[in-house]
Amino acid sequence: MNLPAAKSKPGRLARKETLEFYLFVSPWIIGFLVFLVYPLISSLYYSFTRYTIATTPVWIGLGNYISAFKNPRFFNSLWVTIRFAVISIPLMTMVALGLALLLSQKLKGINFFRTIYFMPSVMPTVAIALTWFYILRPESGPLAGLLSLVGLDMPRLLSERALALPTLIVINVWLIFGSQMVIYMAGIKGIPPELYEVAEIDGAGRGARFWNVTLPMLSPTIFLNLILGIIGAMQMFDVPYVMTQGGPSESTLTYVFYLYNTGWVELSMGMASALGWILFIIILAITMLVMRSSQAWVYYEGERK
């Protein structure tokens, strides 16, 4: 007679645990639905409408997408963003990897230099961009004052069309390389020292050990930083917004800055939503291509080829 009660007790306990689980995860689920899923679905709908904040959305089908591809500013912003990514990502990789190799040495006081190089990555981007804007002022900036002491004129790095984008690239690399450097240092720590010992016994020099041991073992880390770098570069906004406002002559008008102007300056939210989904497709396509290519150059320890 007691067997049914004995069987039902675990059932009640399981239901209670299930209820408690959903109760504890409900804040995350609600936040995920309200702040991610709903905006995504809404922006997809608005991308097919003519919509401003003050008006009711009007369905126009593919009109926003067709208009985007007919707008020269769309292609200019996309070209600026691609140039930004193509230059900044390899430069950032070389700087971050080079410093990671140097700072992985067991030297006295090395932790101080690790902290100094990592600091820009944890500081507010807007604050640093404003600081660089002040430093690079051609008339009254600190750098202009130092150059005047040796009789040199400060170049207008942010107001010359040929110099503005390279200047922003260098500043962006300086801002972000610290986070990639830390990831590379973690990857270097994970390389088995036995591999270097075997390579040294075989007579491999420093360059050969780097090329045949370090790079292959770091290829998964390079792959990770490459993906993160592509996503970050294609969404660049804050540095050009603070320092150049897209100028001069839209030479630093990145894609996301163009999207921001479309939505919040021109109040064309439907077009801005379409631009956002176009960017999503572009980033997805580039990421998939890089992931597909990883089979040829990324080595995972333990796998057989």
Confirm whether 304 is domain-assigned: no
Looking at the structure of the chain, the number of domains it has is 2
Tell me, yes or no, whether 78 and 199 share the same domain: yes
Task: Indicate whether 41 and 84 sit together in one domain.
Answer: no
Express each pLDDT in 84-114 by its tens digit: 999 999 999 999 999 999 999 888 888 889 9
Residues 150, 101 share a domain: yes
Domain that holds residue 41: 3-46
Q: Which pLDDT score is estimated for 277?
A: 97
Domain contains 261: yes
Is residue 98 a part of any domain in this protein?
Answer: yes
pTM over the 0.85 mark:
yes
For residue 1, what pLDDT is reported? Answer: 45
Based on the domain organization, do 128 and 34 belong to the same domain? no
Q: Whole-number mean pLDDT of the chain? A: 90
Do 217 and 175 share a domain, yes or no? yes
Residue 225 domain flag: yes
Looking at the predicted structure, is the pLDDT value of residue 260 above 80? Answer: yes
**Residue 89 sits in the same domain as residue 31:** no
User: Is it the case that residue 203 has pLDDT exceeding 90?
Assistant: no
pLDDT over 80 at 77, yes or no: yes
Asked whether residue 179 falls in the same domain as residue 90, the answer is yes
- Residue 16 has a CB neighbour count (10 Å cut-off) of 10
Answer whether residue 204 is part of any domain: yes
Judge whether 78 lies within some domain. Answer: yes
Q: Tell me the pLDDT tens digit for each residue of 8-28.
A: 556 788 888 889 888 999 999
Asked if 192 and 96 sit in the same domain, the reply is: yes
Q: Is the domain of 131 the same as that of 205?
A: yes
Whether 23 is covered by a domain: the verdict is yes
Asked whether residue 77 falls in the same domain as residue 37, the answer is no
Q: Are residues 170 and 100 in the same domain?
A: yes
Is 145 found in the same domain as 36? no
CATH number assigned to the domain comprising residue 87 = 1.10.3720.10
Q: Is residue 83 part of a domain?
A: yes
